[in-house]
Structure 1
Amino acid sequence: MKRNLSFVSVRKIIAFLLAICLCMGLVLKSSVMSIAAQEAPIYKIMVNRAANCVTVYGKDANGEFSIPVKAFVCSSGREGHETPLGTFKTSNYYEWRLMVDGSYGHYAVRFNRGIMFHSIPYYTKNAGNMEWEQFNLLGEPASLGCVRLACADAKWIYDNCKPGTQVVVYDDLENPGPLGKPTELKISEDNSMKNWDPTDTDPKNPWNQVRPTLYLTDKNTDEVLRLPLGASQEDIYKAVGLMNATGDICESGQYTINLSGRYDLNQQGIYHISVCGVGLFGVRTEKNMMLCVG
């Protein structure tokens, strides 16, 4: 009798332990899936080699990368050093990276062996020692195979595109991408600030002396950009203005304003976007804002 009771007790203990293991397994599986979801790339990068334009896509409601959120002008590989076509994934990230020619790339992101996204080359690991002539080549082939970007754009990929982000390099000379091909200013040889990238947000950057400032025209202090449903470009210019470095308000026609990010002006809602303004000197300023449509 005692043996039977002992046997029943053992079976209950085993069943209890199995139940605990099953629960722990389910919790562990859920945790792993949650971590995987957090680490999954949220962007896809399309590099139009022929047009020297990069377009970044975000996911739509179906999880497809169909929403263009950013566009960058770039320099792909020059003749004899063409950037390879194909589909790749980002892997290693470097704040500074020594290049094959002895120069340094800022905010470098590897996506195909020795091929990376990175800034305009620098002579040394010093943000004030840029090869300024190479900055003026943005928009045309110029590199040894990598995809060169303005410093702010290289940093955006470095900060926002997780390891494993898909990169597609393709050719389409006729269509740079759905957001078009941005332009950058040209730096003159006699410019005393020429060795700094104008887009670099480093506090030491002398370009900050002429960098404009974005401001909202309404009286609210919550820094929320409010636009009506179906807003036009005119509505955007009414809502966002630009001040020059001396604090004077720029007049209409003296600046440009562009919004980027995942938003829909024809769909009521709240969105997180980036607002970019470019003033008379061609120097850009960017600010993350909340957009309220409707």
Structure 2
Amino acid sequence: MEKIRKRLLSLIMTCVVVLSLIAPVTGGLQEVQAGSPYYIQVNKNTNVVTVYKNKVNGVYQNPVKAFICSVGYSTPVGTFKTPAKYRWHTLQGPSYGQYCTRIYGGYLFHSVWYYENGKNDTVSVAQYNKLGQTASHGCVRLTVADAKWIYDNCPLGTEVKIINGTSKNDPLGKPEALKLNTKNKMDWCPTDPDPRNPYTKKSPEITGAKNKTVQLGDKVDLEEGVNAYDTAGNNITSKLKVSGKVNTKKIGTYKVTYSVVDAIKRTAKKTVNVKVVDNSTVVISAKSQKVQLGTEFDPLKGVTAKTKAGTNRTSTLKVSGKVNTDKVGTYKLTYSAKKMNGKTVKKTVTITVGDYKKPVLSGVKNKTIYTTDIPEGETLDLLEGVTAKATNGKDLTSRIKVTGTVNPHKAGQYKVTYSVTNDSKLTTKKTITITVKERKFVELKGIQNLEVTYQPEASIEEKEALVKEQVLEQVTGYILGEEQSDDVLEVAMEQVEEDYYLVTITLDDGQGHTLEGQLYATLIVEQ
């Protein structure tokens, strides 16, 4: 009995299918009408329906609409005229379709099938999500909106051409379809215009787009954390478009607009403000430093204040504390500047006033002296004429130190080093050479024997006068190296024999230094 019951049920279902293909009787039947403003092409290979406005020399032209669809492997290829329409219609299964337009025989345009006749919330979720794939038993499945458009706008007798084409045969491209939640077996078609359709109150949603504040100079990813969802709640963030630019190198408020269009052409848009601010801390360039005693000091000169992001805040710079550059010491200065948000940043530095330039030695230079310059038993005063001063004018002569010795009575070259240190422990050193040259108190030059000619009749006095005259011409006397006049020299003559004299020349400086020189003078009678 069970086998008989199953066979009987199968026979009944077959009869239902045959009847639905040959002579459907579901309500809303429309008869064939002549003429149509549109031409419909079904591309089996791409599952795309394209509606054309014109046909010229057998070629469809001026495409106006494109629908995503699901055909079947048995969908016939060829050109057909639509013979009938049905508002709801029983399909194989049985299942049910909305807005059905017969193409040929048992092949129709219709919505994705429903589990229950006339119940709009029972569309098959699994089959709906196959739109765009070959999935039917031969009919051309569409969304409710697309099936309704053909139902409403293409009268009976509209020409339908079914081809095995490529994407090149789809001039408007391949539309998309929303994906329904697979947790549900049945649902509404999101495009169903029925006012009870919950999807009519839904639209795409953009989440995570909100006003934000960005630090000056930082990078900003406008899409970070922002997501987009279609009418059915599917993530379509990849379709999100962002308009507006943010210059993070310039403080200001920038408008950024996010927008998205889902598969059923519903849109969402959201505009936010991106505020670029500089909340970074302020860097004050003031540094601890040494200041020269007695000089002018401006604590704000050359000091700047900038945020780490580069915003100039020097105009807000202030300084407290005093520095007395006339007094050696350590002073504290506190600088303050304001951040962009009004908060104050402070920095304290140390200013140390001191004499940071080396002292100046004066009167230290190479010199030459003579052995006669310094009296016997006395020493050379190496500090005579030498002074030292700090750069602020302070006399440091008493701090001069001398290394090296000089024997003023012995000819030679002597190295002497002078050094002086100021209050800041800076030292100036200078080494000189003192040259000691030999020099006599009294000196006679030109002492050498001579010959004097005279006339035969000359007397002894005249002879001696001639000798003295020539001696003074030949001999020069020096006192402390300076040439003396002839009257300083004393000349004494002693006749040794006739016409032959011993001449003694004496030089006395009047200071106890006497020098004698002797020569012989030979007198010769002039012939």
Aligned identity (percent) is: 44
Aligned counterpart in structure 2 of residue 67 of structure 1, from 58, 62, 65: 62
1:90 has 2:78 as partner: no
State the distance in 2 between where 1:257 and 1:141 align. Answer: 23
Deviation at 1:100, TM superposition (A): 2.2
* Partner SS state of residue 128, structure 1: helix
Q: Which has the higher helix share?
A: 1
Deviation at 1:65, TM superposition (A): 4.2
Deviations 1:87-131 (A, max 9, x none): 101011000010122000110100110000000000112111111
1:278 has 2:281 as partner: no
Q: Is the 8 A contact 1:43 1:165 kept in 2?
A: yes
Aligned counterpart in structure 1 of residue 260 of structure 2, from 255, 263, 266: 255
Q: 1:148 to 1:60 in 2, by over 3 A?
A: closer
* Partner SS state of residue 120, structure 2: coil
* Partner SS state of residue 259, structure 2: coil
- In the alignment, what sits opposite 1:196? 188
Deviation at 1:146, TM superposition (A): 0.2
Q: 1:62 to 1:140 in 2, by over 3 A?
A: closer
**Aligned residues: CA RMSD:** 2.9
State the distance in 1 between where 2:183 and 2:261 align. Answer: 26
1:127 has 2:132 as partner: no
* Partner SS state of residue 122, structure 1: coil
- In the alignment, what sits opposite 1:136? 129
Structure 2, unpaired ranges of 5+: 1-32, 205-230, 232-240, 243-256, 269-527
Q: 1:60 to 1:176 in 2, by over 3 A?
A: closer
Q: Is the 8 A contact 1:52 1:176 kept in 2?
A: no
Q: 1:154 to 1:103 in 2, by over 3 A?
A: same
Deviation at 1:190, TM superposition (A): 3.6
Deviation at 1:61, TM superposition (A): 9.6
After TM superposition, the score normalised by the length of structure 2 is 0.33
Q: Which has more radius of gyration?
A: 2
Q: List aligned pairs for 1:1-294, cutoff 5 A.
A: 39-59=34-54, 65-78=60-73, 82-125=74-117, 126-190=119-183, 195-211=187-203, 252-256=257-261, 277-279=265-267
How many residues are matched? 187
Q: 1:148 to 1:257 in 2, by over 3 A?
A: closer
State the distance in 2 between where 1:120 and 1:200 align. Answer: 11
After TM superposition, the score normalised by the length of structure 1 is 0.58
Structure 1, unpaired ranges of 5+: 1-37, 213-243, 245-249, 259-275, 281-294
Deviations 1:38-82 (A, max 9, x none): 95211000000000000000027999741100000000004xxx2
Q: 1:257 to 1:148 in 2, by over 3 A?
A: closer
Q: Is the 8 A contact 1:43 1:65 kept in 2?
A: no
State the distance in 2 between where 1:160 and 1:173 align. Answer: 26
Give the letter aligned to residue 185 of structure 1. Answer: L
State the distance in 2 between where 1:145 and 1:61 align. Answer: 29
Give the letter aligned to residue 143 of structure 1. Answer: S
Deviation at 1:191, TM superposition (A): 6.1
Q: Which has the higher strand share?
A: 2
* Partner SS state of residue 255, structure 1: strand
Higher normalized contact order (CA 8 Å, seq sep 6+, divided by chain length): 1
